[in-house]
Structure 1
Amino acid sequence: MNEEGRGPSAVSLLALIGEHRESIRAALDDEQHALLLTRLRALAAASPDKDMAVRRALQGVRHALRPLPFDHPARAALDGVRLVAAPPGPATVTEALALVDLLAAPESAPTADPTPAATLGDVTSGATLGDVTSGDDRTAADPLLREPALSTAEATARCGGAPPPELIRLPDPPRGDRFLEFQFPVGGGTPHPVVLKVNRLLLADIDPRGAASWWLGGNSWLGGTPASLLGRLPDHELVGAATTLVEGE
């Protein structure tokens, strides 16, 4: 228990990740593990003296752990960590930095098939699955790159200037960055304000694939795909669903 009596601390949760890193790697697929590393890197890069930045980054780590089986020690401890308790503090950032080095080490990668390990390295360095293939093969292998999207020039025109960092942009070297079209109103106009708000919660600037997967995947609480519900549901319901996901309440 932490000193607030609210369950495990953020540091103890990170310690559990390090202790059970091998079973975590086995339980998560390549993309899920890459997301966890991305979230941990964001936490390690947070300024220790900026409490809200550390809390926000820690929320991302918690979100990345949710695919674990419920009986996994790290997953079982997840809901006990409440960010409204004592501030995470510098120790959380220090622990995250050490954990990134530990999880990203070659021995942490699966050895049965070297291809996923290479893909994981590319994803965690900012590339996507599509970046390790080429041409039509890349698009066929990455369903997100098959989604309707705007080019950088088109998105810039719609935004009236440089697209804001909150927008989901997917790297696609041959065509340039792709801005998923659902983020904009049908028929023209600037991005949906609620999309920018939700994307900030989902850390779309750090993990655009994770944010895109939330918008384009089924959501039992909302009763449909969030992207398809834009304009059909009140904005606060979309924000609430995303908040529940990242805060784990």
Structure 2
Amino acid sequence: MTTNDLLELLRRHLPEIQASLTAAEYARFQDSVRRLREVGDDTRAMRFALREVRLCLLALPRENELRRRLDQFRSAGAARAAVLPDADRLDEVIRLLESVDWPTLDPVSAEIARGVRQRLLTAPARGPERLTGAAAEDPARAGLIRLTHPELGHRYPDFQFDPDTGEPRPVVQRINRMLLSDQDPWGAADWWLGGNTWLRDAPAALVGRVPDALLTEAAAALVGDGAW
């Protein structure tokens, strides 16, 4: 098994890995995969980094298919077959790692969560190159939701921006902070883009069409804090 074979296995099994590891174990696993990119062309350092990835995954159940396949990768001969990974393939796995960051769930719940995220990623959005001013310098500080697309990278849902000026809408920034979008961007995006019983429509579709105070009250009802 080559390094690229291992990356393909990781790509296919990421939701399963996330569902099987604790939050701390998964965070360590994420760091170990990112380290593969940091070591560059140093083959010796790459072997140590690959060993760290494998050790992180030993927490998987023994009957897990990925865990069984890791034994093939453990042999020295297989590890030497192709130590340095394809850069594009490694970048893809890292992008996927950063987009699969929901709390540890059982496999069924993880599948549901992935479906929700796929739906949210179909909404119109822009890349970081279209951000300006303070939003470009620090999107999270500017109160913007940032989602991570497995192929396109960071995406910022369009409803957050004034269609004429391209600047962030103040009401959206305020509500995003109420929803703690910097900690749970997917949950915040789901509130905006999903149906809302109280508002009788998706909040994102009502920005600019209803008073800002009404949207703020709806968000405050969700977080249970009238102080906003």
Give the alignment's TM-score, normalised by structure 2: 0.47
Give the alignment's TM-score, normalised by structure 1: 0.43
